[in-house]
């Protein structure tokens, strides 16, 4: 592990010079006098009994999330993936435009803090890569943190340049003409290497959907950061395309359904290694949360089962297959939330929740969960409303002359702004309560 920088009082980030490829050396060390990472917000008592929140059919839809997730269909490489794989299933090709490339924007967060971000290259010298046994396991992670000030610090590019050829290939299969979209133009609100605002912040981990890069969760990640959290996002190497320092890009390897349990264990190992590195550099992990989309949500639950350092978790629309992991059958003794959308079944939209027969794994987990538990369904949402696709794809429809329902299979019919507000509220309040 190359280390040089950060400082958040419990995590410290001190940006240093970057190489020609933008490599960032990061050092993590505890600040003198800081004994724990504690939210600046008032801490709430942990709930000792299960709390169930269900959307009432008569309730205000604006306050109700509706989320989805079940069935083996979630396991397919395309549906379970993030930005790239999702596109593969959209059919209807359109003609390319000779005009300038279409651009889109990433919405700004609503919290009180400015956002800084830094990328870290980690090598686990004690673990062979499960997909490349002749190599040590390497990871790229991003640390997002409240920033002291952001002047003179450029905003982070949404997608790494190195993975764009793969994105273009998948986008073309989605009916988006190759070369018609400038995927490099979009910027997040994270300012690269901005100085850290010292404070006591909870730490939250993020794991993306199967095959998806960590970048596709940036909208919710930067929102949580702006509210006073340190968020660490993880790329799971060889499951997705990953750009490393120096411009090296590792492409995904074929992973069969029979190897999905192995993939889950690799993700759990990745997450625990990241936690080890934080602790090794003096970060007090007194308050740690984790959330993820699709297989990343499954990863959150499974990691909590094997690592008690994580205090609370959220699964956004991901099945928790008992054939691949144990969390559904064993449950957890700490707070966990299931956030779902809706899936099309027999011509009808069915809620992804523990209270329908869409995804038996959610019902199984719910029955076995011993700690506080919550369930929400975001009405009108589909699987990729829990990724940045919910705000990116709608911006492409009109400029590219695509049918209005071109991406409905992936991002449903819920208004993107409304869907984001609900996710901000539900996810933010959950972590406020338990961290």
What phi and psi values does residue 344 have, to the nearest 5 degrees?
Answer: -85, 120
Strand ranges of the sheet holding 230-234, from the earlier edge strand across to the other edge: 155-157, 187-192, 114-128, 136-147, 230-234, 203-207, 288-293, 312-316, 336-340, 373-377
> What integer pLDDT is reported at residue 240 of this predicted model?
94
Contact present, 210 and 239 (Cβ < 8 Å): yes
> What integer pLDDT is reported at residue 212 of this predicted model?
92
Distance of alpha carbon 266 from the chain centroid: 17
Long-range contact set of residues 392-396: C-beta below 8 Å, sequence gap at least 24: 392/83, 392/104, 392/106, 392/186, 395/102, 395/104, 395/105, 396/102, 396/104, 396/176, 396/181
Decide the pairing of beta strands 187-192 and 155-157: antiparallel
Q: Specify the pTM.
A: 0.79
Distance of alpha carbon 128 from the chain centroid: 25
Contact present, 255 and 211 (Cβ < 8 Å): no
Q: What DSSP designation does 158 have?
A: S
Buried b (16+ CB within 10 A) or exposed e, 256-283: eeeebeebbbbbbbbbbbbbbbbeebbb
Domain boundaries, the chain: 64-434
What phi and psi values does residue 245 have, to the nearest 5 degrees?
Answer: -55, 145
* CA–CA dist 378, 376 (Å, integer): 7
* CA–CA dist 424, 376 (Å, integer): 13
Q: What is the pLDDT along the chain (435 residues), one digit of tens a residue?
A: 333 232 223 333 333 333 222 222 222 222 222 222 222 232 332 322 333 333 333 333 333 332 223 332 332 332 233 333 333 333 333 334 446 899 999 999 999 999 999 999 999 999 999 999 999 999 999 999 999 999 999 999 999 999 998 888 878 877 789 999 999 999 999 999 999 998 889 999 999 999 999 999 999 999 999 999 999 999 999 999 999 999 999 999 999 999 999 999 999 999 999 999 989 977 779 999 999 999 999 999 999 999 999 999 999 999 999 999 999 999 999 999 999 999 999 999 999 999 999 999 999 999 999 999 999 999 999 999 999 999 999 999 999 999 999 999 989 999 999 999 999 999 999 999 999
> What integer pLDDT is reported at residue 99 of this predicted model?
64
Contact present, 115 and 225 (Cβ < 8 Å): yes
Contact present, 290 and 204 (Cβ < 8 Å): yes
Contact present, 90 and 170 (Cβ < 8 Å): no
Decide the pairing of beta strands 342-345 and 348-351: antiparallel
Integer angstrom CA distances of residue 310 from 203, 220, 313, 410, 427: 9, 19, 8, 30, 16
> What integer pLDDT is reported at residue 47 of this predicted model?
29
Q: The domain 64-434 is classified under which CATH number: 3.40.50.1820, 2.60.40.10, 3.30.1490.190, 3.30.1300.10?
A: 3.40.50.1820
- How many Cβ atoms from other residues are within 10 Å of residue 346's Cβ? 5
- Show the 3-state SS of 118-133: EEEEEEEEEEECCCCC
* CA–CA dist 358, 345 (Å, integer): 8
Nearest 10 degrees: Cα torsion 30, 35, 36, 42: -130
> What integer pLDDT is reported at residue 30 of this predicted model?
26
């Amino acid at each position: 592990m190359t280390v040089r920088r950060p400082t958040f009082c419990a995590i410290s980030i001190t940006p240093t010079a970057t190489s020609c490829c933008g490599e960032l050396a990061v050092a993590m060390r505890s600040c003198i006098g800081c004994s724990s990472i504690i939210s600046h917000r008032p801490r709430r008592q942990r709930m000792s009994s299960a709390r169930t929140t269900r959307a009432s059919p008569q309730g205000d839809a604006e306050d109700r999330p509706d989320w989805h997730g079940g069935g083996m269909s979630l396991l397919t490489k395309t549906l379970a993936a993030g930005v790239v794989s999702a596109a593969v299933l959209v059919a209807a090709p359109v003609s390319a435009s000779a005009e300038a490339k279409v651009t889109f924007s990433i919405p700004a967060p609503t919290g009180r803090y400015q956002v800084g971000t830094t990328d870290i290259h980690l090598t686990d010298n004690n673990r062979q890569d499960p997909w490349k046994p002749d190599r040590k396991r390497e990871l790229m992670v991003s640390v997002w943190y409240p920033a002291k000030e952001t002047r003179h610090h450029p905003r982070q590019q949404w997608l790494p340049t190195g993975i764009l050829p793969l994105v273009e290939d998948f986008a073309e299969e989605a009916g988006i003409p190759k070369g018609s979209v400038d995927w490099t133009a979009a910027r997040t609100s994270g300012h690269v290497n901005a100085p850290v605002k010292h404070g006591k912040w909870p730490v939250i981990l993020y794991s993306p959907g199967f095959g998806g890069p960590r970048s596709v969760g940036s909208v919710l990640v930067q929102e949580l950061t702006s509210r006073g959290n340190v968020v660490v996002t993880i790329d799971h190497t060889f499951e997705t395309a990953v750009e490393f320092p120096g411009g090296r890009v590792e492409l995904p390897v074929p992973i069969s359904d029979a190897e999905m349990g192995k993939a889950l264990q690799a993700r759990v190992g990745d997450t625990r290694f990241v936690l080890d590195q934080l602790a090794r550099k003096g970060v007090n992990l007194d308050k740690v949360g984790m959330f993820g989309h699709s297989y990343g949500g499954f990863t959150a639950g499974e990691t909590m089962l094997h690592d008690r350092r994580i205090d609370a978790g959220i699964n956004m629309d991901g099945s928790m297959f008992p054939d691949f992991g144990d969390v559904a059958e064993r449950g957890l003794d700490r707070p966990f939330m299931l956030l779902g959308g809706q899936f099309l079944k027999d011509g009808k939209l069915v809620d992804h929740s523990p209270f329908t027969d869409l995804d038996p794994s959610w019902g199984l987990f719910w029955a076995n969960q011993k700690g506080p538990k919550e369930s929400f369904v975001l009405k009108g949402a589909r699987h990729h409303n829990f990724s940045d696709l919910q705000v990116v794809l709608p911006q492409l429809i009109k400029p590219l002359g695509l049918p209005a329902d071109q991406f409905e299979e992936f991002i449903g019919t819920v208004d993107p702004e409304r869907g984001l507000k609900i996710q901000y509220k539900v996810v933010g309040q959950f972590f406020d309560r338990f961290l």
